[in-house]
Structure 1
């Protein structure tokens, strides 16, 4: 599991990094003392686990939660007990640790994060969408891209297209990390891209517009997949 530690206390970052080093199932650890930097890291990389302080000098842990992937397990680590009841509003929060902490308690929280991660993995890359009066299971790896059509979304695959009543905003949080929004009306499967150039993305025979606001994160994500 790839992990991100976000805490404005460098000593706490060191302690959490030490705890992570004692767990074989944690493959890598990135640390930051800045909330804003953590947002850049989350937007440009993929993490399986975030160890998140609530009280940061520049932004709150709750603000970071709003942009974190719902598929990423989060362990809140903070001295602020007031947030504990609200933490249950976020499905990805698997545990809430109050400082100071020890390794035994930390490891129990990690086991919950591991179970959360395993559940997400076992679901596979599939999604049920509504097609008329029935639910249709689609294999997300076969999807070329999603296109917004007013209040509907076109799910475009190699040999078929499905129109479903949904918004891109609602869909985006349900997708795995190999999907990326590239335009206000398009989310593409990064593994299906043929070429990128002249503000256009080619997938199959289709050309999809690439907005400047999404260009940087698109290239960052592609470099991580390679």
Structure 2
């Protein structure tokens, strides 16, 4: 993975570059302390992962996000906790690290970026899940929605349902862009939605609750897909 570090603090750039050097999956690192320079770098050469400071002296990290490819994994690195809720508006943000940062937490964020990157390297959207004592390949395009049930997840398709031991938050980072969380207990396939209204979605004969906190990002993603 090719990495870009954007932070106006040279010491933070050095620390992040050191962290990157300890990870075999990162093959090259470019650093800049300028937001404007980062835009030129992003436009001239694609990056697989960007470590992005929110508070920059010339432009904000949010401005840079707006021109970043949706296929690029972004880890926000900042002391501004207020941006955390808004970060969910951007599909490419895989994690949000608040300074000071240690390597174990950084590595966890990198693993999320790696999973995100792998989704876009794979032409066939699929996922292996545990069904009893075997791993089963699921074609994600056939999945209508995922529902959390205690410590399990129901994988609901048109003609069958599989129950697997997994947390919804762990599943969420593995899914491609056409899936969206709409409730604390549901992640839906946007291509399977037949109607939206009255704080609910219709997928086939099923009615899925729609939480207000996920409503805005849902409509944004629907417009992007259309």
Query: TM-score with structure 2 length normalisation?
Result: 0.64
Gaps of 5+ in 2: 10-31
Aligned pair 1:166/2:166, yes or no?
Answer: yes
Q: Distance in 2 between the 1:82 and 1:201 partners?
A: 40
Aligned pair in 2 of structure 1 residues 87, 67: CA closer, same or farther (>3 Å)? farther
Aligned pair 1:218/2:198, yes or no?
Answer: no
Aligned residues: 190
Q: Distance in 1 between the 2:90 and 2:217 partners?
A: 15
Offset, 1:11: 7.0
In structure 2, the residue matched to 1:13 is 35
Query: TM-score with structure 1 length normalisation?
Result: 0.64
Offset, 1:155: 0.6
In structure 2, the residue matched to 1:104 is none
Tell me how large the CA RMSD over aligned residues is: 4.6
Aligned pair in 2 of structure 1 residues 50, 34: CA closer, same or farther (>3 Å)? farther
Cα contact 2:180–2:218 (8 A) shared by 1? yes
In structure 2, the residue matched to 1:49 is 72
Offset, 1:70: 10
Aligned pair in 2 of structure 1 residues 6, 178: CA closer, same or farther (>3 Å)? farther
Gaps of 5+ in 1: 75-79, 95-112
